[in-house]
Each structure stands twice: as structure tokens, then as C-alpha cells.
Structure 1
């Protein structure tokens, strides 16, 4: 189904009318990759694509089943956008599932982490309520995810060096 976009490291693929899947292998152990997704002070360093020029203003995460998160992008409080939702499942070092509740067309995101010979295979899946919702959001993600994951790669190198 659908098209696949790759920058050589990150593969972004439409698996169905409602699902986008992003796959990437990181040269770091699961513990570091998982921390980068669940610790706000680390998440803030890589999530906002630098090319967008829109910084991440705030990031709050209660990464446990039933906990919530809130991520705000923008230059100031008057020109900002907040993404928020709840964690449906948190299985440390293996799986995160959360809702994206900022709109009625929000997706459910699942991220899995699998360690292979000291590297981490990460698979991110976005499941949308409709084809239209996926069409609207997925185009932006196809461009942003490879850049974001490249930024995560850079952060993991730093974390690995300081570990």
C-alpha cells in the first residue's frame, strides 16, 4: 500500500489509508533511545525540526499508563500551538502508546523499541480516524520525521559519549 519515502536511514511509509509508519535504526542502546522519548529535558532537544525555525517552548510528560503530556511550539505565548494527550500504554524500554487530543482528527501513536546488537530498531506508527485525517497530517510528517530522527541521532551520540 501507499508510497514509501526514505533518506537512507529513516523510512516513512503509508501502510494503509489511515496509517503512517516510520522506521529507523539508531546506533544506541534502547535505554538511551527510550529516555530521549520519555524525559522532557531530552525530548526538547530533538523533537522540533530545526528547519522549521519554530522552537519547542515547553514540554511536560508523565510517561506512565494513564499519564498525560503537553508539548508547546512557538516563539511566545501569543504565537504558539500545543499538542497534548494521554499515555494509553507505557511498557518501559519496549513500547509507548499515546493519544493526540488536540483535534478530533488526532491519531493514536505507537512507538516500539527493539534492541539488536547494541542498536535500537524504532518503529513509530500513527493511526488516524479517517483517510482524510491521515492525508492532512501525514504529508507534513513525511518531511519532518527524517529531520527529527537525524536530530535524535545527534543527541544520542552526545548521550552515549557522556554515559
Structure 2
């Protein structure tokens, strides 16, 4: 099994950063890499609740991911399953939020249970692309 870990700091309070992962209107502003858009983001934000995000590229091709929330500790931690609609494999995402100052926070993303290094690498690239778009949703 393969896993990835990404740590980044953001100029936002830990509450603002946490909410960017839980509010559909905010998720739709950033939760896709590069120039992709998020035409649909549905969230049933509770343990056992489901989420579904549709990412769309400029050609109209859609990439759909969903899963369920396994652990919610606001505003420190989120754990959720991750499964592409086109894949039988489910992986796990853990996001840790740490307040550094009033308006600066650290995010640590740990994505585990990949069957192959290639998928792990692709997800690492995808997450970096998503996180690069996150600051615009925090303003």
C-alpha cells in the first residue's frame, strides 16, 4: 500500500480553513486542480454522511469522486473515504488543521491505501493542484 502526505500553510484562521472543506459553496470554488471547475459539490456533513464532488475540465469531461465522512473533529481533523466513480478502490483521506496564529494555519493532508505508486503520484499531483486554488476561496 502507498500513501502521500502534503503540508501547507495558509493565510486564514483555522476555522476558515476547516470550513473550506465542509461548505459546498466554498468547495465549488477550489476543489479541482488547475483550470478545472466544480459544477457540483454535495455534502451531508456528519459522521456517516456522504459527499460527492464533480470536477470538470475545459472539454466538459467530468471526474466524479465521493465517499463518506468517518471522523469530524471541528476544527482540527477530518477523515473521509475517497472513491472515484470509475474505480472499485476506496482510499482514506485525513486532513489535520493547526492554528499557527490568528490568521495563519497549517494543513496536513494524508491520503492512504493506494494500491499502486502511480495512483498515489497522480493524487499527489491532483491534491497539489487543488491546494494551489484553495487560497482564492479563503479570501
When normalised by structure 1's length, the TM-score is 0.74
Whether contact under 8 Å (2:2, 2:120) holds in the other structure is no
Larger gyration radius, structure 1 or structure 2 = 1
SS at match of 2:21: helix
Q: Which has the higher strand share?
A: 2
- Structure 1 counterpart of 2:130: 148
Equivalent positions of 1:1-163 (< 5 A) are 18-51=2-35, 54-74=36-56, 79-102=61-84, 103-118=87-102, 119-130=104-115, 132=116, 135-156=117-138, 158=139
SS at match of 2:45: coil
Q: Which has the higher helix share?
A: 1
Gaps of 5+ in 1: 1-16, 159-163
When normalised by structure 2's length, the TM-score is 0.85
Gaps of 5+ in 2: none
Whether contact under 8 Å (2:52, 2:65) holds in the other structure is yes
Runs of 4+ in 1 over 6 A off after TM superposition: none
Post-superposition offset of 1:153? 1.5
RMSD: 2.0
Aligned residues: 135
Post-superposition offset of 1:27? 1.4
